[in-house]
Amino acid sequence: MNILEISDLHFSYGNGPVLSGISFRIGEGESVGLVGANGAGKSTLLKLVCGLLRPSEGSISVAGVPVRKDTLNQVRRDLGYVFQDADNQLFTSTVYDDVAFAPRNYGLSASETQEAVERALKAVRIEALKDRPVYRLSGGEKKLASIATVLSTSSRLLLMDEPSVALDPRNRRNLIDIVNSLPCAKMIASHDLDFIYDTCPRTILLSEGRVVFDGDTASVLRDRTLLEAHGLELPLSFSRMP
Amino acid sequence: MEEEARGDGRLQTLHPLAKFFVTIIYLVLLLSFHKYDVAGVLLMGAYPVLLFTLGGIPLRPMWRRMCVILVPVCLVGIANPFFDRTPLMPGVTGGMVSMVTLLLKGLFAVAAAYLLMVTTTMDDLCRSLRKLRVPAILVTVIMLVHRYLIVFLKEVDRMRTAYKMRAPGQKGVHFRFWGPMVGMLLLRSMDRSEAVYQSMSLRGFRGEFPSDKDGSLSRSDILYITICILSFLIIRFL
Amino acid sequence: MHMADALVSPVVAGIMYACSAVAVVLSIRGMRSGEEDRERSIPLMGVMGAFVFAAQMINFAIPGTGSSGHLCGGMLLSALLGPCAGFLTMTAILLVQCLLFADGGLMALGCNVWNMGFYGCFVGGFLIWRAFTDRKMTRGRIIAASVVGCVVSLLLGAFSVTLETLASGITELPFAVFVRFMLPIHLVIGLVEGLITAAVLVFILEARPGLLQGAGGPAEGGRRMKFASVLAVLAAVTLVVGGLMSHLASSDPDGLEWSVEKVTGAPEIESDGPEWAAGVQERTALLPDYAFRDSERGTSFSGIAGALAVLVLCFAVGMAFRKPAGRKIETSGAD
C-alpha cells in the first residue's frame, strides 16, 4: 500500500503558481529525497501533505485517507513533520515533555506515554537527555529531539525540512545513521545533496513548481546538465569523481 | 535557578502546591504585621532562614534580586522618619521603626518568593496554577513565555553585539534604528509564532499542555503545610 | 514601576488581585471566539510575550541626554494583538518577571498587573489607540497614539501605585508629596517609551500594515468592545476600589491612641519634629488619623532581642540538619 499519494496537485499563494500538476506516490518504508533550488516549492509541498496549507486543485491522501479539513486529526497521527528550526518544534521545557506532548494529546495513558517516549528516544539514541531542559541542548541534540517528538506517535511517514542545516560533520553523520535506521517512510527536503544521496535511494527534483525528475538518486545527482539547468550543482560526493 | 529547582533536595521534592500555598500564607501574614511590630516581623524571618540553611540553597543569587527590590522600598520608607516622629522608645521614633519593619518585610518577602522559585520548576508551578483553576489559556501562555524567553534573549544579545561592533563608543541604540532593529525582531517573532502553532497543531494541540503527573499531596506535604501555617499563626497572633 | 510586596498590605493586595482576575476573565471572553482562532492565539501570545520581555532589555539611547529608555510592552502588544490578548500576554510577562527576576512581588502581582497591564492595554492600547487610528492609520496618528497612550497609561499606573501604597499604610509620605514625586518622573518615562514604541509601530506599518489592529488586521472577538461598556467597567472598578480602600480608614481610636490617651490624658502626643513637616502633613494628608492596632510588644527591646535569638537558633538548626540539593542533570553548553 502507498503511504502517500499525490495527484495533479496545484497550489498558489495568490501571486502566481507555486506548484503545478504534481503527481507521485511513496510506498511504505520508502525514503524519498525532495530537491530543488530556493523557491522550487519543496517546503510548500511538505506543508500541503500535512494539511497546513490547502491545495487549489488536486488531491493528497495519506495511508488511504484523503487530506481534508475534517480528516486532519486522523491524517496527522500517521505523519510527523520535522521543522527546519528545532526551536519551533521544541516548545515545552524538557525533552521528555516535548516527546510526550503528542501521545498525551492523543489520549494515551501515563504508562503508554512513557513507553512511547522511551521508544522514540531510543530510536534517536538520546535516552540520556530525557530530563534535560531544552535550552541546554546543543544544535545536534535539538535536531534529534525534534525527530523524537514526531516518532512518539509511531508516525508512518516522516516529513523533514532541511534536517542537516547547521549541524557539524559528526552530528550530521550521526543524523544520517539514525535516519537510515528508521523503518517508516520518509520524504526529506534538502539542499544538502550529499545528505540526500546518503539517505534516499529515490529523489524527486522540483523546478518552478513542477516535477522534472523522479527516480534513482545516483542518476540525478550525477547529471550535471540537469542539475545546473534547475539551479543546482553536483554534490561534493560526485564533483570530485573522474 | 531552573537547575536548582530540578534537584532532589528535601524542598524540591515537596508538592509544588504545598510550597505555593505556604508561601502565599506566609506573605499575607508577614505583610499584615503592624508597622511598629519589629519583633514579630523578625520572628517571621525564621521561615526563610530555616529553609535556606536546611536546603543548602545558595544565597548570592538572591542578594542580587534583593538589591533590585529594596531600592524602591527604601525610597518609599525613607520619608517615614521625617513624617512620623511618634516617640516609641528613648531616642527611637515611630518613623524609624516603621522604616525598619518595611525593610525587613521587603527582605523576607523576597526571600520567601525566591525560595519558592528555586525549589519549584516553572512547569510544576504552572501545573499548580491549573489546579487552582487559573485559566488554561493564561497558564499555557506563561509556559511559552518562559520557554521562548531564552531564545529571544540570545537573539537580542546577538543583535546588540552586532550593533556595538558597527557603532563603537555609542551608548544604546541610535533613534534612527529603533524601529528597524526591534521591528525586524518583531516580524521574525510573529513568523516564529506561526511555525510554533503549526508544530503544536500537527501534534494534536487542544489549547493547553497536557500532563500526566500525579496531583495528590503526600503525608509529608500535609505535614509541611500544617507545621508552617501553625507556626506563622502562632507568631502572628500570640 | 514594579511594586514590591513590602509596599502593599494584604487587603490592598487582595483587592487588586480580584480586580486583575476579573480583567483576566473578561479578556479571555473578549478574545476571538472560534476554537481554532483561540488555539492560534496562544503560541502568538507566548512568543510575543517572550519577544517583548527580551526587547525591553534593549537600551534605546535618548539623543542629547546621555540616558536611555525602553519599550512600552502594553501599548505594543495591544496594537498588534488587541487589548484582550495584549493584557493576557502582559499578565504572563509580569508573572514570569516576578518569579524569575523578582521584578515585583508575588503579593503585589495583582497591583502590577493592573497598574501596568490594564492601563497599558485597555486605556493606552485600546481607548487611545482607537481614538487616534480608527478612521485612518498614518505615521503621524501612530506616533501620537503611542506617545499619548504611553504617557496616560504610565501616569495612571504611577497614580495607582501612590494610592495603593498609601492605602496600605506603608509610608508616612503625604499624598500630594508622593504624587508630585511620582508623576513628573513617569511623564518623562512615558514620553520616551511612547517615542520608542511609535518607532517600532511605524516600521510595522511600512513593512506589514495588516499586523496592526484596526489597519484591516484581525479584530478581537466577533464583537468589538464598546467604548461605553469599557468606561462603565472602569468606573465601576474605580468605585469599588476607592470605596473599599476608604472603608479601611476607621474613625474609631485605635489601640495606640487609646494607650496614649490612657497614659498621658491626651489623644495625641505633641510632636517635637519640625513644624514644616507637620504643616505639610496637615495640608496634604489624604487619610488623616490612619492607624492600626496595638504594637507595644513589637517595639520593645526584649521583643526584638527575643526574635533575633529565635532567628539565630533557626540558622543553627538548619546548618546542623542541612542536606544540599543534588543535581539531577549535567549541564552542557548549548550553541
For the whole prediction, is pTM greater than 0.95? no
- Cell 505633641 -> residue: C270
Whether the per-residue pLDDT at C274 is higher than 70: the answer is: no
Who wins on pLDDT, C63 or C273? Answer: C63
In a domain, A173, yes or no: no
Tell whether B233 is within 8 A of chain C (Cβ).
no
Residues A111 and A131 in one domain: yes
pLDDT at position C273, please? Answer: 42
Residues of C in contact with A131 (CB under 8 A): 328-329
User: Residue A113: inside a domain, yes or no?
Assistant: yes
Cβ–Cβ below 8 Å for A135 and C334: yes
Spatial separation of the C-alpha atoms in residues B76 and C172, rounded to whole Å: 9
The answer to whether residues A36 and A2 belong to one domain is yes
Q: Higher-confidence residue: C287 or A13?
A: A13
Phi-psi region of C221 (alpha: psi -120 to 50; beta: other; left: phi over 0): left
Q: What is the pLDDT of residue C251?
A: 36
> What are the residues whose beta carbons fall under 8 Å from the beta carbon of C286, sequence distance 6 or more?
C166, C174, C175
Distance between CA atoms of residues A145 and A224, nearest Å: 36
Cβ of A91 and C43 within 8 Å?
Answer: yes
- Domains of chain C and any CATH numbers: 5-247 (1.10.1760.20)
Q: Is residue A175, in this structure, part of any structural domain at all?
A: no
- Chain B positions in Cβ-Cβ contact with residue C89 (cut-off 8 Å): 141, 145
Task: Say if residue A33 is in the same domain as residue A44.
Answer: yes
- Cα A203 to Cα A30, B47, C240: the distances in Å are 11, 66, 69
Chain A residue with minimum CA distance to B212:
A110
For A21, the domain range is 1-78+156-165+183-242
Residues near C15 by beta carbon (within 8 Å), at least 6 away in sequence: C110, C240, C241, C244, C245
Interface contact flag, B9 C323, Cβ < 8 Å: yes
Shared domain check, A28 and A6: yes
- pLDDT single digits (tens) C211-259: 887 754 444 443 444 554 555 555 555 544 444 444 443 333 333 343 3
Which pLDDT score is estimated for A129?
95
Cβ separation A88–B123 shorter than 8 A: no
What residues in B contact A47, CB-CB < 8 Å?
Answer: 198
Most A CBs within 10 Å: which of B151, B203, B211, as the mutation test of the A interface?
Answer: B203
Mark whether A138 and A231 lie in a shared domain. no
The reply to whether residue A136 touches residue C331, judged by beta carbons under 8 angstroms, is: yes
pLDDT at residue C115 above 70?
Answer: yes
| A94 and A34 fall within a common domain | no
% chain B with pLDDT above 90:
33
Rounded average pLDDT over A23-49: 94
Is the pLDDT assigned to residue A233 strictly greater than 50?
A: yes
- Give contacts of C 20-49 with B, CB under 8 A: 24-25, 28, 31, 35, 38-49
Chain A: residues touching C (Cβ < 8 Å): 91, 131-133, 135-139
Q: What is the pLDDT of residue B4?
A: 66
Q: Per the domain annotation, does A143 fall within a domain?
A: yes
C124 and C83 Cβ atoms separated by less than 8 Å: no
The whole-angstrom separation of Cα A10 and Cα A210 is 10
Q: Has residue A178 been placed in a domain?
A: no
In 10 A of CB C305, how many CB atoms? 12
Which amino acid does the sequence have at C14?
A: G
More confidently predicted of A225 and C38: A225
The pLDDT tens digits of the residues spanning B126-136 come to 988 998 889 99
Q: Which residues of A touch C328 (CB under 8 A)?
A: 131
Nearest-5° angle of CA B14, CA B16, CA B21?
105
What proportion of chain A, given as a percentage, has pLDDT over 70? 99
- The secondary structure of residue B76, as a DSSP letter, is H
Considering only CB atoms, C92 lies closest to which of B69, B142, B196, namely B142
Shared-domain flag, residues A120 and A3: no
Rounded to 10 degrees, what is the CA torsion of B44, B50, B56, B61? 10
CB B112 within 8 A of CB B141: no
Question: How many angstroms separate the CA atoms of C23 and C31, rounded?
Answer: 12
Average pLDDT over residues A166-185: 92
Q: Looking at chain C, which residue has its C-alpha nearest residue A94?
A: C329
Tell me how many residue pairs between chain A and chain B have CB atoms under 8 A apart: 79
The total domain count for chain A is 2
Contact C300 B89 (CB under 8 A): yes
Tell me which chain A residues have a C-beta less than 8 angstroms from the C-beta of C329: 131-133, 136
Winning range, highest mean pLDDT, from A71-75, B55-59, C70-74, C248-252:
A71-75
In chain B, positions 183-222, which contact chain C (CB-CB < 8 Å)?
Answer: 183, 185-187, 189-190, 192-194, 196-197, 200-201, 205-207
A112-122 pLDDT, tens digit per residue, is 999 999 999 99
Is the Cβ pair C25, B207 closer than 8 Å?
no
Q: Provide the edge-to-edge strand list for the sheet that holds A2-12.
A: A17-27, A2-12, A57-62, A65-66
What subunits touch chain B, counting only 3 or more CB pairs under 8 A? A, C
pLDDT at A100 over 60: yes
Q: Which residues in chain A touch residue B122, judged by CB atoms under 8 angstroms apart?
A: 93
How many whole angstroms separate alpha carbon A159 and alpha carbon A186? 6
Half-sphere exposure of C10 (CA within 13 A, CB side): 13
pLDDT bracket for residue C329 (50, 70, 90): very low
Q: Do B209 and A150 touch (CB under 8 A)?
A: no
Mark whether A138 and A49 lie in a shared domain. no
Q: Is residue A177 part of a domain?
A: no
Searching chain C, which residue's CA lies closest to the CA of residue A166? Answer: C335
Cell numbers at C104, concatenated: 515585583
Give the mean model confidence (pLDDT) for residues C31-56. 84
Q: How confident is the model at residue C284 (pLDDT cuts 50, 70, 90)?
A: very low
The stretch C57-86 carries a mean pLDDT of 80
For residue A40, is it within any domain? yes
Nearest 5°: CA angle at C122, between C118 and C128?
135
Interchain CB distance below 8 Å, B85 and C3? no
At C122, the amino acid letter reads F
The chain-wide mean pLDDT, for chain B, equals 86
Give the distance, in angstroms, between the CA of residue B4 and the centroid of all CA atoms in the same chain.
14
- Collapse the DSSP code of A65 into the 3-class scheme (helix H, G, I; strand E, B; otherwise coil) and give the result: strand
For residues C145 and C228, what is the distance between their CA atoms, to the nearest angstrom? 20
- What b/e string do you get for C117-131 counting C-beta neighbours within 10 Å, with b at 16 or more? bbbbbbbbbbbbbbe
The chains in contact with chain C, meaning 3 or more Cβ pairs closer than 8 Å, are A, B
Q: CA nearest B2 in A: which residue?
A: A133
CA distance C335 to chain A (A): 5
What are the helix (H) ranges across chain C?
Answer: 10-30, 35-55, 73-81, 83-101, 109-112, 129-133, 139-167, 175-207, 227-248, 255-264, 275-284, 296-299, 301-320
What sign for the dihedral angle of Cα B140, B143, B145, B148?
A: negative
* Residue in C96, C330, C331, C335 to test binding to A, most A beta-carbons within 10 Å: C335
User: Using CA atoms, how far apart are residues A90 and B154, in angstroms rounded to an integer?
Assistant: 16
**What count of other Cβ atoms lies within 10 Å of the Cβ of residue C219?**
12
What pLDDT digit, counting tens, does each position of B140-179 carry? 999 999 999 989 988 888 888 888 888 877 777 777 788 8
Look up the CATH number of the domain holding residue A66.
3.40.50.300
pLDDT at res. C70:
75
Tell me what percent of the residues of chain A surpass a pLDDT of 90.
78
**Any chain B CB within 8 A of the CB of C155?**
no
Cα separation of B125 and B12, whole Å? 12
Exposed / middle / buried, residue B230 (Cβ in 10 Å: 0-12, 13-18, 19+): exposed
Residues present in chain C in total: 335
Q: Quick check: C4 and B72 CB within 8 A?
A: yes
Interface of B with A (CB under 8 A): 2-3, 6, 121-123, 143-144, 146-148, 150-151, 192, 195-196, 198-206, 209-212
